[in-house]
Structure 1
Amino acid sequence: MNDSSEEAAAARKALAEHPSDEAEKRRQYVAANRDRIRELNRLWRSEHLDRARELNRDSMRRAAARRHREAEVRARGRERAKRWRVEHPERRREYQQRWVADNRDKVREYYNRYYEAHRDEVNARAAARRDADPERTKQVTRQWAERNKERRVELQRNRRSDPQIYQSELEANAAARRLKRSLSRAGLPPKLLHATTAAERRANEREADAYFNDPARPEHVRQFTVFAESLTEHMLKSGARMREFAEAYAETRARMGLPPMSVENIVYARAVEIVAERMRRVDLLIGRDVAAAVRSTQAEATRFARQKQFDSLVRTVVAHVQRNGVRLGVDAEMENRARSRRGIPSLPGEALIAQFAMHEVIERAPRNSLTLEDARAAARLVRLHIAVSKGSRRAVIDEQERRRSLG
């Protein structure tokens, strides 16, 4: 017993004196007997399950406590570093600049690795910075071009080294010169081009995507279309009555000393209110949509009033010709005689009759929406009607003479 105690004490003393040798021997033994050690551990665990579980729980508690202590140490370190960065901003900046200067290769490698993994995000952020300050972007571009003239020439030379690109540029330049010469020979101004920057193109693309990819766009378009059509229909049907009410309302405001209001604004404000109340849904319409619908209705109402006055003028002139055809024919014949005496070429009788009838009717016919071109078009229609009527009368007379000759 004493001998074994002495041997154990000697072993412990040797281990204390030479720990590295004992650890090396243990590593060698474990590496050579992994299966045996695993089997012994399994047998011991099966025979001492409760003790194994207790040891496992103790180990997990120690590991959790160790992780907690390490996390607290790291948190305190981060807090100290944060306070130091706040208290010493200049030294922090100097350290960063010095580290970047001493580790250019690492910085370039980190940037390239990040760019490869996040290419779209990096490009989007760069484009957003350029779009946020276009003047600064232009200034930086000009400065780079001034500093790198040879580099620019080299880039252009490399680009034009591609035969297809070079040929396409030559064809585009030749087409532009041909267009310029053609416009000059025709007496037309040169083609005007608006140079659009990349920032403007990206803004236009974003607006187009937002417009066409909006899931509510079909319903929005439907509401706008129905609203505009309903407003136009209502104004064409009840515009005159609503205008009378608006004029009376404006006069009442003037008598009461209130600020004046445009009759047109009163009419369309009330029309918009009526149409919006009748529609099932107008929740997607905004002020710009209402303004566009009002402009469309005003244009359609103007066109309708113009067409109505034009048709009324043509009917009135045709009726005047039918009632006073003999007198107008005599006047046309006398006019041609007078023109022949003065050596002026004669005009067709239908043209003179239409002209005389138009002058006699135009003064008393409503024409506030008509233009000079509309009056000329009405005269051409009247002349055509006279020619057709005269041809019909001539055909009737010829048929009567043919029957008398046969009878």
Structure 2
Amino acid sequence: MNGPSEEGAAAQKSLVEHPSLDDAAEKRRQYVAANRDRIREMNRLWRSEHLDRARELNRDSMRRAAARRHREAEVRARGRERAERWRVEHPERRRESQQRWVEENREKVREYYNRYYEAHRDEVNARAAARRDADPERTKQITRQWAERNKERRAELQRNRRSDPKIYQSELEANAAARRLKRSLSRAGLPPKRIHVATAAERRANEREADAYFNDPSRLEHVRQFTVFAESLTQHMLKNGPRMREFAEAYVETRARMGLPPIPVENIVYARAVEIVAERMRRVDLLTGRDVAATVRSTKAEVRRIERQQQFDGLVKTVVVQVHRNSARYGVDAEMENQARAHQGKPRAPIDSLVAMLAMQEVLGEVPTSLLTIEDARSAARIVGLRISMSRTTRPNLVDNLVHRRIFRELTGG
């Protein structure tokens, strides 16, 4: 039987012969750090001498690593499944656990929220705006409830805003202008001004529609087709409008004789014009019914404006020619008109204005004036009077110039 001294010596010998694992690992790290190049060279030599064995070991290592990853993935999946089953089976406990964690970690939750908001500010604001836009009535109700609950806070915000002198002065001026407008409309017997204040949701919807419209890749071609179609339709109506109206009127009369319901002549004219112009154009595939209707409306307005201007110019030109042809007679008639006005106690009128009025009365039945108004006729008379005055002032100057030139030629012998 061994004594205590022998047992202690054996234990010391065991410690010396078998050092701890930590010491062995430390020595190995030191050796590797001191002999990296030597170890790398030895590994290279061994691999070159035992290439098949090295590849086999590498395959075994990769298989073990893949199996280990697969096992870890299965363990994680089973853990997720267990957690999901537990959440489904214990919703109340899950909710209580979440609430308890939130109550215990308020600062951490606030930090998480602020960090996420700083990184995703636009996305958070967009989602909040989308929620408000999805139910505008509920949003209005929440806003009213907040205003009722926070009257003092709202008043404080308003006071802070109006503390700026410029903002306060601009609000006073706007309110005063609104009151003046209201009083003016009331005195004139007109209804008060009605303004539809667009909400933030409506403004965002309008912006989305505008972005979708202007960012459409086919918009340029669409606008080009619309512009060309409108110009072509206007030119076609200016060139062939009267002839097409004659055909349309005959067609309407034929329908009336056959007992068919009447159709407006303009509808027939523009329907046929649209058909002709669309057949002549190279591309109209992007035009919609609304585009065609808008084009027809603009063409009607443009054709009417051009025809009205043509009638106005024709009236002025005809009256001027009439005055030049019968200036002596119109002068006598104008003088007689002034004498009659004097007998009636009325002031004398300018001779040029009377001449223009008399000439216009004679030519009104000879030129087309179906699109002209009384104001147009008065404007034409004023223009004719101005032209008559200018012709009378420039004609003596022309005569004087001719006389001076003749005298100069006689004196110089030219």
TM-score, with length taken from structure 2: 0.73
* Cα distance in 2, alignment partners of residues 325 and 167 from structure 1: 70
Could you tell me which residue of structure 1 aligns to residue 59 of structure 2? 57
Distance change in 2, residues 1:115/1:240 (3 Å): same
Could you tell me which residue of structure 1 aligns to residue 167 of structure 2? 169
The SS at the match of 2:140 is helix
Gaps of at least 5 residues in structure 1 are 1-9, 16-21
Which residue of the other structure, out of 68, 71, 85, is the alignment partner of 2:70? 68
The SS at the match of 1:280 is coil
Could you tell me which residue of structure 1 aligns to residue 148 of structure 2? 146
Q: Does 1:36 align with 2:31?
A: yes
The SS at the match of 1:317 is helix
* Cα distance in 2, alignment partners of residues 185 and 212 from structure 1: 42
Could you tell me which residue of structure 2 aligns to residue 295 of structure 1? 297
For the Cα contact (< 8 Å) 1:180–1:191, is it kept in 2?
no
- Across the aligned residues of Structure 1 and Structure 2, the Cα RMSD in angstroms comes to 4.4
Distance change in 2, residues 1:35/1:134 (3 Å): same
Could you tell me which residue of structure 2 aligns to residue 373 of structure 1? 375
For the Cα contact (< 8 Å) 2:182–2:193, is it kept in 1?
no
Q: How far did residue 86 of structure 1 move?
A: 5.2
Once the two structures are superposed, residues 95-130 of structure 1 have per-residue CA deviations (whole angstroms, 9 ceiling, x without a partner) of: 544544444333323222221221221122112222
Could you tell me which residue of structure 2 aligns to residue 201 of structure 1? 203
Q: How far did residue 148 of structure 1 move?
A: 3.1
Residue correspondences, number: 382
Could you tell me which residue of structure 1 aligns to residue 22 of structure 2? 27
For the Cα contact (< 8 Å) 2:161–2:167, is it kept in 1?
no
Distance change in 2, residues 1:185/1:96 (3 Å): closer
- 5 Å-filtered alignment, 1:6-405, equals 25-36=20-31, 49=50, 53-82=55-84, 85=87, 92-93=94-95, 95-153=97-155, 155=157, 166-173=164-171, 176=174, 195-321=197-323, 325=327, 327-363=329-365, 365-388=367-390
Distance change in 2, residues 1:66/1:216 (3 Å): same
Distance change in 2, residues 1:157/1:394 (3 Å): closer
Q: How far did residue 370 of structure 1 move?
A: 0.6
Distance change in 2, residues 1:285/1:399 (3 Å): closer
**Corresponding letter in the other structure for 1:169:** I
Could you tell me which residue of structure 1 aligns to residue 411 of structure 2? none
141-150 vs 314-323, which moves further:
314-323
For the Cα contact (< 8 Å) 1:30–1:37, is it kept in 2?
no
Once the two structures are superposed, residues 178-212 of structure 1 have per-residue CA deviations (whole angstroms, 9 ceiling, x without a partner) of: 86699799999999876443333333443444444
* Cα distance in 2, alignment partners of residues 362 and 92 from structure 1: 94
The SS at the match of 2:20 is helix
**Corresponding letter in the other structure for 1:68:** H
274-283 vs 300-309, which moves further:
274-283
Once the two structures are superposed, residues 193-239 of structure 1 have per-residue CA deviations (whole angstroms, 9 ceiling, x without a partner) of: 76443333333443444444444444433333222222211111111
For the Cα contact (< 8 Å) 1:314–1:381, is it kept in 2?
yes
* Cα distance in 1, alignment partners of residues 259 and 180 from structure 2: 63
TM-score, with length taken from structure 1: 0.74
**Corresponding letter in the other structure for 2:358:** F
Q: How far did residue 371 of structure 1 move?
A: 0.8
Distance change in 2, residues 1:336/1:23 (3 Å): farther
Once the two structures are superposed, residues 290-338 of structure 1 have per-residue CA deviations (whole angstroms, 9 ceiling, x without a partner) of: 3332222211110111122223333443454456555544443333223
Distance change in 2, residues 1:152/1:179 (3 Å): closer
Distance change in 2, residues 1:53/1:158 (3 Å): farther
**Corresponding letter in the other structure for 1:336:** N
Distance change in 2, residues 1:343/1:280 (3 Å): same
**Corresponding letter in the other structure for 2:279:** E
Q: What percentage of residue pairs aligned between the two structures are identical?
A: 69
* Cα distance in 1, alignment partners of residues 105 and 395 from structure 2: 106
* Cα distance in 2, alignment partners of residues 99 and 174 from structure 1: 52
Once the two structures are superposed, residues 13-51 of structure 1 have per-residue CA deviations (whole angstroms, 9 ceiling, x without a partner) of: x99xxxxxx999212320233143687987589658455
